[in-house]
Amino acid sequence: MLFMFTLMVTSKQFFGEPMHCMSGSDKDDNKDAINNYCWIYGTYTLKSQLNGIEGKHMVYAGVGPSLNKNDDQIEHTYYQWVCFVLLGQAFMFYIPHYLWKSWEGGRVRDLSANLSFPIVSKDWSDGPRHQLLAYFNDYNTCTHNMYALRFAFCEFLNLANAIGQIFLLDIFLDGSFRDYGTAVASFTHHPRLSTDMKDFVSVNPMDKFFPKVTKCWFRSYGPSGTIQFKDRLCVLPLNVINEKIFVILWFWLVILALLSALAVLFRILIFCTPALRTYILTARLRRIKRSPVSKIVKHYSFGDWFVLYLLSKNINQIVCIDLIKELAKDLHWTECV
């Protein structure tokens, strides 16, 4: 999704050039130079011009004459880096997936080879049966804890990634991202009532943080060498898509953070509660009695149970039930430490 957003904000097919600045009546002004100058050095809007009705109290939201010397400017320089930030986020989200695929090494795929078909005879072939029983009964028993901990670490990375990216985007947008989603939702529900500061009551958060029209000071030398300041009006068509992208990202990251937190909490509960591991595997297979599963959980380590659980999701239920029953019959060694 982030990679798709990156392509959207870098495509000129739909939005054309990212910035268009009006040169006014000065025929000597180079439009391309002004566009590039304002793109590089940034534009701004005025806080005093955010209240009111467009076309009546001001030309556009945030655009108008400065009312006093202390009129605060809201600078906008983020748009140069939006595509790079989105692309960086995409790679950061891929890291946990890449790590787990590297650490997992296709173990479950190899163990479940040819055992995932929906129709399997009750007496499944001796080859795979012997291999699975040998895998769990020989030297591999009690050696899967690091395998399970790596999976849990990747789940924690998912949580850290979701929360970290919320703070990253908040820093990137100068502190405006943390409340952006709630402010947009509040304004959409009550267009004249905003949860923002009193000075910005009734202002659309999208127009405040992602303005489509901004101001830019262009400095140059006059014919006599005197510095000239020229106030230019700039149109940012790219913000039409930026404002929607960051609304989607706000809600998506919050949902991901909540789901990731629940996943980490659930993993901790499974690790600390053997009875819960018994219940999960029994509920997964349904047609197996609780006693052999409880025996497996008691004698095997958490990592061994985790591999069995992954197998139960990737092989036929008849095969998995038979495997657990056979393993439970042959438990004569001491418990894993």
User: What is the DSSP annotation of 119-147?
Assistant: ---SS--HHHHHHHHHHHHTTTTT--HHH
Rounded Cα gap, residues 225 and 228, in angstroms:
9
Residue 200, pLDDT score = 42
Provide the 10 A C-beta neighbour count for residue 122: 8
- Token pair, residue 196, equals 């923002």
Count the neighbouring beta carbons within 10 Å of the beta carbon of residue 234. 23
Global confidence as pTM: 0.79
Nearest to 45, CA basis, from 77, 75, 79: 75
From first to last of its 337 residues, the chain has per-residue pLDDT tens of: 999 988 888 876 565 677 888 766 655 567 777 888 888 888 888 877 777 666 666 767 778 777 665 567 778 888 888 989 999 999 999 999 999 999 998 888 888 887 777 776 655 666 677 788 888 876 677 788 999 999 999 999 999 999 999 999 999 988 889 888 888 888 877 655 444 444 444 677 888 888 888 888 877 777 777 777 777 888 888 888 888 999 999 999 999 999 999 999 999 999 999 999 999 999 988 888 888 888 888 888 899 899 999 998 888 888 888 888 888 887 654 455 5
Give the Cβ contact number of residue 108 at 10 Å: 16
3-class SS of residue 327: helix
Look up residue 93 and give its DSSP letter: H
Contact assessment for residue 303 and residue 147, using Cβ atoms and an 8 Å cutoff: yes
Backbone angles phi, psi at 229, to 5 degrees: -110, 120
Closest CA to 172 of 256, 270, 245, 266: 245
Distance CA 210, CA 268 (A): 41
Separation CA 10–CA 156 (nearest Å): 32
Q: What are phi and psi of 260, to 5 degrees?
A: -65, -40
Q: How far apart are CA 23 and CA 33, in angstroms?
A: 10
Place of tokens 């400065």: 66
Q: Are strands 73-76 and 213-221 parallel, antiparallel or unpaired?
A: unpaired
pLDDT in the model for residue 265:
96
Instruction: State the Cα torsion 246-100-156-184 to the nearest 10°.
Output: 10
Classify strands 213-221 and 227-235 as parallel, antiparallel or unpaired. antiparallel
What tokens appear for 322 in the block?
């038979």
For residue 293 the two structure tokens come to 């599963």
Q: What is the pLDDT of residues 39-62, one digit of tens each?
A: 888 888 887 777 766 666 676 777
Q: 109: Cβ–Cβ under 8 A, 6 or more apart, which residues?
A: 314
Burial (CB count within 10 angstroms: exposed 0-12, middle 13-18, buried 19+), residue 235: middle
pLDDT at residue 128, rounded to an integer: 74
Residue type, 243: E
Integer Cα distance of 333 and 317 in angstroms: 26
In the chain, DSSP finds a helix count (H) and a strand count (E) of 14, 5
> What are 267-278's pLDDT values in tens digits?
999 999 999 999
CA nearest neighbour of 199 among 71, 77, 65, 59? 71
In order of 22, 146, 290, 327, the CA distances from 334 in angstroms are: 81, 20, 21, 14
Question: SS3 of 234, please?
Answer: strand
| The two three-digit tokens of residue 233, written as one number | 């009006």
